[in-house]
């Protein structure tokens, strides 16, 4: 079973093997190098000439049974800081999809972004928060009338989004969720977004102290489920410190 699939999530609850941990080292180190170089770009004002953006006022948010139920679940479950992070992750991920030239179903990206951290604030021994989020997504999608193939794809986007090195070969949802969330939490790929666009996103969806709250949640997840990907990233790369020093004022 491939890491991040729904079958893998159900079979393992997100517990990593030694081989999986070793396979994550190279891509995680690559992202760390890209992050360090990108912070230098930000320091010297070297944004991409074709930096991604779009007019937020022209964006029609998807309005379907799936997205309405996902938003209701997110609003009922998440703290205000994590809820706003979820909205920002969607907007940043959507902008990066356009920059990367990757087609994505906006309804699916919106629904999964709303639920990608649905379990992060309530760590559970023996099960990864991304796996629990994936199972929540799958059940909610089926209740909303989505076919099982699509519901599985939505769930796998969430299950896979914290896997180091996730790429587009398995579909756009997992990488775009990762990219959008990493922009917001650490500043990774921030230099690829237009400053005016980022300012507009932050005005619409303020950060509300997300560095402190998400960092604490991540550390709690790592302590509660030490066999998972969050714990691997915390032990190996001090992910919560990257969140703490993200290039956003709070």
The pLDDT tens digits for 47-92 are 888 899 999 999 999 999 999 999 999 999 999 999 999 999 999 9
Query: The pTM is what?
Result: 0.97
Could you give the number of structural domains in the chain?
Answer: 1
CATH number at residue 93: 1.10.3210.10
Specify if 250 maps to a domain.
Answer: no
Interatomic CA distance for residues 150 and 3, integer angstroms: 18
Question: What domain range is 132 assigned to?
Answer: 6-244
Single out the residue of 130, 113, 230, 133 nearest to residue 177, CA to CA: 113
- Cβ-contact 24, 183 below 8 angstroms: no
Q: Using the 8-state DSSP alphabet, how is residue 158 labeled?
A: H
DSSP string computed for 97-125: HHHHT----HHHHHHHHHHTTTTTTS-BT
Residue 47 is assigned to a structural domain of this protein? yes
Q: Are 180 and 96 in contact (CB under 8 A)?
A: yes
Tens-digit pLDDT profile for residues 19-35: 999 999 999 999 999 99
Neighbours of 20 (CB within 10 A): 15
Residue 2 binned pLDDT confidence (cut-offs 50, 70, 90): confident
Would residue 129 count as lying in a domain?
A: yes
Taking 90 as the threshold, does the pLDDT of residue 18 lie above it?
A: yes
What is the Cα–Cα distance from 78 to 85, expressed in whole angstroms?
10
| Distance from C-alpha of 133 to C-alpha of 142, rounded to nearest angstrom | 14
In a domain, 32, yes or no: yes
153 in any annotated domain: yes
Considering the domain boundaries, does residue 79 fall inside one?
yes
């Amino acid at each position: 079973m491939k890491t991040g699939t729904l079958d893998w999530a159900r079979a393992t609850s997100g517990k990593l093997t030694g081989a999986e941990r070793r396979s994550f080292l190279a891509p995680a180190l690559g992202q760390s190098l890209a992050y360090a170089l990108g912070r230098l770009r930000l320091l010297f004002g070297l944004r991409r000439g074709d930096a991604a953006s779009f007019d937020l006022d022209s964006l029609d948010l998807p309005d379907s049974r799936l997205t309405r139920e996902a938003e209701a679940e997110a609003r009922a479950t998440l703290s205000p800081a994590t809820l706003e992070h979820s909205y920002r992750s969607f907007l940043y991920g959507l902008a990066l999809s356009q920059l990367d030239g990757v087609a994505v179903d906006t309804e699916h990206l919106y629904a999964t972004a709303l639920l990608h951290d649905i379990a992060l604030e309530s760590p559970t021994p023996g099960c990864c928060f991304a796996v629990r989020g994936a199972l929540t997504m799958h059940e909610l999608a089926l209740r909303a009338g989505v076919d099982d193939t699509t519901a599985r794809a939505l769930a796998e986007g969430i299950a896979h989004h914290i896997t180091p090195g996730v790429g587009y070969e398995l579909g756009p949802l997992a990488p775009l969720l990762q990219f959008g969330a990493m922009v917001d939490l650490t500043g990774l790929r921030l230099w690829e977004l237009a400053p005016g666009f980022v300012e507009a996103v932050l005005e619409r969806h303020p950060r509300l102290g997300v560095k402190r709250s998400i960092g604490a949640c991540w550390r709690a997840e790592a302590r509660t489920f030490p066999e998972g990907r969050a714990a691997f990233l915390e032990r190996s790369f001090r992910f919560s410190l990257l969140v703490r020093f993200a290039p956003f004022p709070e």
